[in-house]
Amino acid sequence: MLILLEVAKPYTEIFSGIRISTRPDYIDEEVLEILKKYNVTSIELGAQSMDDTVLRANSRGHHSADVVNASKLIKEYNFSLGLQMMTGLYLSTDDKDIYTAQKFIELSPDTVRIYPTVIMKDTELAKLYLSGEFMPYTLEQSIELCSRLILMFENADINIIRLGLHYSDSLIKNSLGNNYHPAFKELCENKILYNSFLEKTIELDKTKNLTVYINQKSLSKFLGQKKSNAIRFSEMGFNFDIKFDNTLGKYDLYIK
């Protein structure tokens, strides 16, 4: 760690600070004192889950208490706190992933990253998958879950700085299953507005022409990737016009 910090040290006058990622159980007061001296400003913890059963099953090597303790110390030392979670780990469920998000919110991080689990070849997780012991979330299940997580963190004013894994040829070549999508965040945002539309039209007469009001910046999110939302709404029998109300939040809409 010190070797890397020494390399970065000459550039701290050019940039506003250094962000690092580490394990929750690697954080203590001695480490934080060192990081302060090297102008580290943001620390992200690879928490992954706040369910100890899930952490043990996936050999994470730390406990949820480590995340709580490290987060409190990081905030006491006035670092920016980031928390990373993985959805769909071995033995996890929607409820456990929602629980992790709730516990994250209680810790008041400045940022979060959400990484849906992707199974890589020649790993312990791959063995569990190939044996049938581990059934990962489908892409649709991940989208539905993470669309809920977006709203949870959004409502708590916590910034999601990453949702889904960066695309790489290696990831595609060496992964198993069919639950990865390079535009995962976009699909989740599409789902939020799709669900909101259906909730607000449940008691409306489909035969009448509706007017949907959204923020102009949310148009592509509402229409969906390749207009998938608009096509599905049309197949359900809805007819609507779109108007803009830029006082609305990016995930808000109302219908007249």
Q: Over the stretch 167-185, which tens digit does the pLDDT of each residue have?
A: 999 999 999 988 899 999 9
The DSSP output letter for 177 is S
User: 151, 182, 213: which is the final residue of a domain?
Assistant: 182
User: 150, 182, 214: which is the final residue of a domain?
Assistant: 182
At 78, the pLDDT band (50, 70, 90 cuts) reads very high
Mark whether 137 and 110 lie in a shared domain. yes
User: 121, 151, 182: which is the final residue of a domain?
Assistant: 182
Q: Does residue 193 sit within a domain?
A: no
Q: What is the CATH number of the domain that holds 128?
A: 3.20.20.70
Side-chain-facing half-sphere of 32: CA atoms under 13 Å: 21
- How far the first Cα of the chain sits from its last, in Å, is 58
At 20, the pLDDT band (50, 70, 90 cuts) reads very high
Q: Does residue 57 sit within a domain?
A: yes
Side-chain-facing half-sphere of 38: CA atoms under 13 Å: 20
Q: Does residue 132 sit within a domain?
A: yes
- CA–CA distance, 158 with 154 (Å, rounded to integer): 6
Mark whether 209 and 248 lie in a shared domain. yes
Q: Does residue 190 sit within a domain?
A: no
Residue linked to tokens 């706190």 = 81
87: amino acid identity, one letter = T
Strands (E), 94-173: 111-116, 119-120, 159-163
The DSSP output letter for 80 is E
Across the beta sheet with 111-116, the strand order is 18-22, 40-48, 80-87, 111-116, 159-163
Mark whether 117 and 215 lie in a shared domain. no
- CA–CA distance, 121 with 130 (Å, rounded to integer): 10
* pLDDT value of residue 2: 83
The tally of domains found in the chain comes to: 2
Mark whether 60 and 164 lie in a shared domain. yes
Q: Does residue 188 sit within a domain?
A: no
Mark whether 143 and 47 lie in a shared domain. yes
At 137, the pLDDT band (50, 70, 90 cuts) reads very high
Q: Does residue 12 sit within a domain?
A: yes
Domain encompassing residue 224: 199-255
3-class SS at 164?
coil
Query: Residue 122: which region, alpha, beta or left (left: phi > 0; alpha: psi -120 to 50)?
Result: left
Decide if 225 contacts 190 (C-beta within 8 A): yes
Decide if 55 contacts 86 (C-beta within 8 A): no
Q: Over the stretch 80-134, which tens digit does the pLDDT of each residue have?
A: 999 999 999 999 999 999 999 999 999 999 999 999 999 999 999 999 999 999 9
Mark whether 124 and 218 lie in a shared domain. no
Decide if 92 contacts 141 (C-beta within 8 A): no
Question: Is the overall model pTM greater than 0.75, yes or no?
Answer: yes
Decide if 189 contacts 251 (C-beta within 8 A): yes
DSSP string, 122-135: TSHHHHHHHTTS--
- CA–CA distance, 63 with 120 (Å, rounded to integer): 24
Mark whether 233 and 170 lie in a shared domain. no
Q: Does residue 187 sit within a domain?
A: no
